[in-house]
Chain A
């Protein structure tokens, strides 16, 4: 990359990061409330023993996304009953943390060099779809993973073993870098999709 291009892109990255972070900080509640319905749909597919209900809540420790799981089938750890049917269990994640992939994705899309405003608008439209996809892959899994992690810890305290479900591994992947990797992959994919769409339209 030429130094002039690198300078321009660097400035755009840092400015868009600052702007988007501020927007996220101020608008986290609205973003989360809009996204709760699709996340609920995704969360329902992750647990077969409970019905998840998601809600935003402002607490003393900050703003949080809460998943209340209504246990519909008794959950056993080995032969011992861990959670009875009808129990309500709350797990939560920090609301701002959920926005990390959005900030990374749109920071890259704002910084990506384009030839016209129309191309930028298309890129943002693709980015919105990608953001929804990335958040559906991550947020419900972070909550469902915490629910299962709670069962694993319960089993460990009782000296028993609870087989780790796949969603816990996915949660660990997300927390150890997946929340960054997915938007970093999604942003160039948006560029590729938009470029292909433009080529198709022009032929």
Chain B
């Protein structure tokens, strides 16, 4: 357990360190715009075609509303935690690779769901926006990440050493 925890914290720290090397402009104009905001806008148009929504750089705009994605709100933290946990847990290499790919896909999907939900809360249930943004959504994302890890983690007797 102690070895796992040290490796977990170490891998997470390394990923966070690398994350802060990525230039702000690249994150804002490429990753957030194309990878998160534009996709979020498409999902909203699909669900509610009558709602005007636009993807502008790292901001999701609708009328006077602007939802901005910045470092820390992009799902990277949850993805790093899952990657660190899977990389540090004893398992076969192939299982780890599959686990990592699914973890990245899961955290990306959760973050898009979070973004779209926050958009609807901001436009339709404004009083709930802040509690969901700062409290319910982050804790739920971590709880769901833990659920995923519980399903992925192999039985220790089968684990590769």
B contacts with A, residue count (CB < 8 A): 33
The stretch of B33-41, B48-56, B75-83, B115-123 that contacts the partner chain: B75-83
Residue of B nearest to A186 (CB): B5
> Does A44 make an interface contact (CB < 8 A)?
no
Give the distance to chain B from A123, nearest Cβ to Cβ, in Å. Answer: 14
Query: Judging by beta carbons under 8 Å apart, are A184 and B81 in contact?
Result: yes
Give the distance to chain B from A1, nearest Cβ to Cβ, in Å. Answer: 5
CA distance A6 to B131 in the complex (A): 29
> Does B46 make an interface contact (CB < 8 A)?
no
Q: Which residues of A contact B154 (CB under 8 A)?
A: 1
* A1 interface neighbour in B16, B81, B155, Cβ under 8 Å: B155
Give the distance to chain B from A120, nearest Cβ to Cβ, in Å. Answer: 18
Given that A10-B150, A111-B146, A177-B80 are known contacts, is A17 also in contact with B131, CB under 8 Å in the complex?
A: no
* B150 interface neighbour in A6, A24, A189, Cβ under 8 Å: A6
> Does B32 make an interface contact (CB < 8 A)?
no
Q: Which residues of B contact A1 (CB under 8 A)?
A: 150-151, 153-155
Query: Judging by beta carbons under 8 Å apart, are B81 and A181 in contact?
Result: yes
Given that A2-B155, A6-B150, A94-B130 are known contacts, is A176 also in contact with B72, CB under 8 Å in the complex?
A: yes
Given that A25-B131, A100-B135 are known contacts, is A184 also in contact with B142, CB under 8 Å in the complex?
A: yes
User: A-side binding surface: helix, strand, loop or mixed?
Assistant: helix
Query: Judging by beta carbons under 8 Å apart, are B81 and A189 in contact?
Result: no
* B131 interface neighbour in A2, A13, A62, A103, Cβ under 8 Å: A62
Residue of A nearest to B74 (CB): A176
> Does A104 make an interface contact (CB < 8 A)?
yes
CA distance A101 to B130 in the complex (A): 17
Give the distance to chain B from A23, nearest Cβ to Cβ, in Å. Answer: 12
**A interface footprint on B112-151 (CB within 8 Å = 1, 0 otherwise):** 0000000000000000001100111011101100110011
Give the distance to chain A from B68, nearest Cβ to Cβ, in Å. Answer: 15
CA distance A97 to B76 in the complex (A): 18
> Does B101 make an interface contact (CB < 8 A)?
no
Query: Judging by beta carbons under 8 Å apart, are A177 and B147 in contact?
Result: no
* A96 interface neighbour in B81, B135, B150, B153, Cβ under 8 Å: B135
Q: Which residues of A contact B16 (CB under 8 A)?
A: 173, 176-177
Q: Which residues of B contact A192 (CB under 8 A)?
A: 1-2
* B81 interface neighbour in A6, A25, A177, Cβ under 8 Å: A177
| Most chain A C-beta atoms within 10 Å of own C-beta, residue among B2, B143, B147 | B143
With A103-B139, A192-B1 already in contact, 20 other A-B pairs whose C-beta atoms are closer than 8 Å:
A1-B153, A6-B153, A10-B151, A17-B140, A21-B135, A21-B136, A94-B130, A103-B135, A107-B142, A107-B143, A176-B72, A176-B76, A176-B77, A177-B77, A177-B81, A184-B81, A185-B5, A185-B8, A189-B5, A191-B1
6 CB contacts below 8 A, A to B, read A1-B150, A3-B151, A21-B136, A177-B78, A177-B80, A180-B77
